[in-house]
Amino acid sequence: MELSWFKKGTIYQIYPRSFNDSNNDGIGDLRGIIEKLDYLKSLHIDILWLSPIFSSPNDDNGYDISDYCAIMPEFGTMEDFDELLRETHQRGMRLVLDLVANHCSDEHVWFEEAKKSKNNPYRDYFHWRKPAQDGGPPNNWKSFFGGSAWEFDEASEEYYLHLFTKKQPDLNWENPKLRQEIYDAMRFWLDKGVDGFRMDVIPLISKREAYPDAPNVGFRKIIEDVYANGPKVHEYLNEMKREVVNHYDAFSLAEGVGINHETAGLYVDCDREELDMLYHFDILECTIVNGKFEEVSAFDLTNMKTIFKRWRDALHEKGWLANALGNHDFARMVSRFGNDTKYWSESAKMLLIMQATQNGTLNIYQGDEIGMTNIVLDSIEEVRDVQSLNFYNENLKTKRYSVNSALERINKEGRDNARTPLQWSDEINGGFSVGEPWLKVNANYKRINVKNQEQDKNSILNFYRRLLKTRKQYDVFVYGDFEELEFDNPNIYIYEKTYANEKIMVALNFSVGDIDFKGFSAISNIEIILNNYEELVINGDGMTLKPYQGIILKID
């Protein structure tokens, strides 16, 4: 196993729109990030990943790019970007951009040209199909964000494919010219010194050109078998690696939509030269039974342990994962997997211990370092996320759920939960902006904010700092063999990890009660590396874990 810089590093994801607003127009921006670089450095993170910063009409907040080589004016200028990159590197951190190459914006000049006529040279940059016999869409594919994945173009009387919104037409990777355009855009940023890319929905780039109807199975299965993992995906990724990424000291982090533990190796086995690592959806979606806003199951620790184990075993020999418990597409991790009321602080810290001691690159999301929680939006007018809005509007037609129930579902699972402005202080709008923020600030900002936590040595923020710093000193946190104890216990997660001559034990209590854990023998030779409580109760051959207590012990 090769120990490269990105494996032991910690990635911090910035959602620029919500990070910090430097000019008070209510929208976070690049200068806002520059202002906070010292803060970011103080967290002991190594790599910054910026969600898309390119020109975009923002139908999906930048995941609909209209110019791959220009900065979104709301975020700043190319000079701002160059400064951000320089200042990031000066502090010894790396910068990774978000490449959205499965689709672009319908306002990209490629698409505007393509719509002009069937003979336009850009026509073939997209997927066009004739209507079905009845004039309807060519097949039954559904968009990730509701409704058909096909949109009719009156002028040419053909449909184009969009797996996301209709303002996000899918690009045709079959066309070598299109692939070169993407590679050129990557080189443009890599030549500036960018350290790599997070690759949005990359498993979707190769389509099944016969466009078979999707079978009547869950959406997740459809993604795996019909949308993702198309016949040429590996050929394209290998080409991208050889022609572009290999020529730089850069890495690629794949968003693994549609990849399961059995297919993951095909993408991240380093001998295959495709992608460097991926984050998968099994943990992120572990409470989502059948698609967002549908059925939600209660959090189940045994299920989570099983998922971690399954992926660990599958990628044990080769391949590399990034560990994420949250990002801009999911509700807040402390609200989903922890306890955002009485044990808010304890559970936020404990979740970090779990995340930071799984094998793989640690990937944290802005705001989780202060335990930001879900938000309650009081009416649909306050909702900003296109996925939530589409769900709501479609529901108005189908009347499947009452208006209240639809809003409740959005509040529970909607993406705006993770996108509310970062809470810097107890000042107006949490110190994010004195202008009207593009999305409401969580009302709890007076209590939960960076400034408060800077001053409290027991805060979540300072715990993140300690843990991220400590993690750099121990290879065993990142690599190593697992031995699990109490696997079937639904309330505690206990494992020992060994790497070279390092050995640690991690014990986590996921419940609101005290839990005694027996069978612990090495008591005389332990050292507490980290503990989210002041003390650890050891009794005989066991210990008592307090509610949401989490500890890392060093064992000789």
| Binding of ligand TEU by 54 (CB under 6 A) | no
| Binding of ligand TEU by 53 (CB under 6 A) | no
Shortest Å distance, C-beta 142 to ligand TEU: 12
Q: Rounded distance, CA 94 to CA 86, Å?
A: 10
Q: Which is nearer to ligand TEU, 257 or 286 (CB)?
A: 257
Contact (CB, 8 A) for 430 and 447 = no
Decide which of Ca ion, ligand TEU, none touches 195; Cβ closer than 5 to 8 Å per partner kind. none
Contact (CB, 8 A) for 158 and 147 = no
| Binding of ligand TEU by 167 (CB under 6 A) | no
Using alpha carbons, select from 526, 539, 533, 540 the residue that is nearest to residue 508. Answer: 533
Tell which one of 114, 161, 257, 407 touches ligand TEU (CB under 6 A): 257
| Binding of ligand TEU by 385 (CB under 6 A) | no
Shortest Å distance, C-beta 146 to ligand TEU: 11
Q: Which is nearer to ligand TEU, 261 or 497 (CB)?
A: 261
Question: For residue 331, what are the contacts with CB-CB under 8 A and spacing of at least 6?
Answer: 374, 412, 413, 414, 417, 418
Contact (CB, 8 A) for 295 and 247 = no
Q: Rounded distance, CA 437 to CA 423, Å?
A: 12
Shortest Å distance, C-beta 499 to ligand TEU: 32
Q: Which is nearer to ligand TEU, 384 or 415 (CB)?
A: 415
Q: Rounded distance, CA 374 to CA 161, Å?
A: 33
Q: Which is nearer to ligand TEU, 281 or 308 (CB)?
A: 281
| Binding of ligand TEU by 164 (CB under 6 A) | yes
Q: Which is nearer to Ca ion, 27 or 222 (CB)?
A: 27
| Binding of ligand TEU by 479 (CB under 6 A) | no
Tell which one of 34, 53, 93, 201 touches ligand TEU (CB under 6 A): 201
Shortest Å distance, C-beta 198 to ligand TEU: 9
> Which residues, numbered 267-326, are part of the site for ligand TEU (CB under 6 A)?
292
**526 has which bridge partners?**
555
Shortest Å distance, C-beta 553 to ligand TEU: 36
Number of residues binding to ligand TEU, judged by CB under 6 A: 14
Q: Report the largest interatomic distance among the alpha carbons of the chain, rounded to a whole angstrom.
A: 80
Burial class (CB in 10 A: 0-12, 13-18, 19+), 297: exposed
Decide which of ligand TEU, Ca ion, none touches 27; Cβ closer than 5 to 8 Å per partner kind. Ca ion
Catalytic residue ranges: 200, 255
Q: Rounded distance, CA 330 to CA 321, Å?
A: 19
Count of beta carbons in the 10 Å neighbourhood of residue 242: 12
Count of beta carbons in the 10 Å neighbourhood of residue 417: 27
Q: Rounded distance, CA 51 to CA 19, Å?
A: 11
Using alpha carbons, select from 437, 438, 439 the residue that is nearest to residue 427. Answer: 437
* DSSP at 25: S
Binding mask 26-65 for Ca ion (x = CB under 5 A): -x-x------------------------------------
Shortest Å distance, C-beta 80 to Ca ion: 11
Using alpha carbons, select from 357, 338, 367 the residue that is nearest to residue 512. Answer: 338
How far, in whole angstroms, is CA 202 from its chain's centroid? 13
Decide which of Ca ion, ligand TEU, none touches 200; Cβ closer than 5 to 8 Å per partner kind. ligand TEU
Binding residues (CB under 6 A) for ligand TEU: these are: 60, 63, 100, 144, 164, 200-201, 255, 257, 292, 328-329, 387, 415
Binding residues (CB under 5 A) for Ca ion: these are: 21, 23, 25, 27, 29
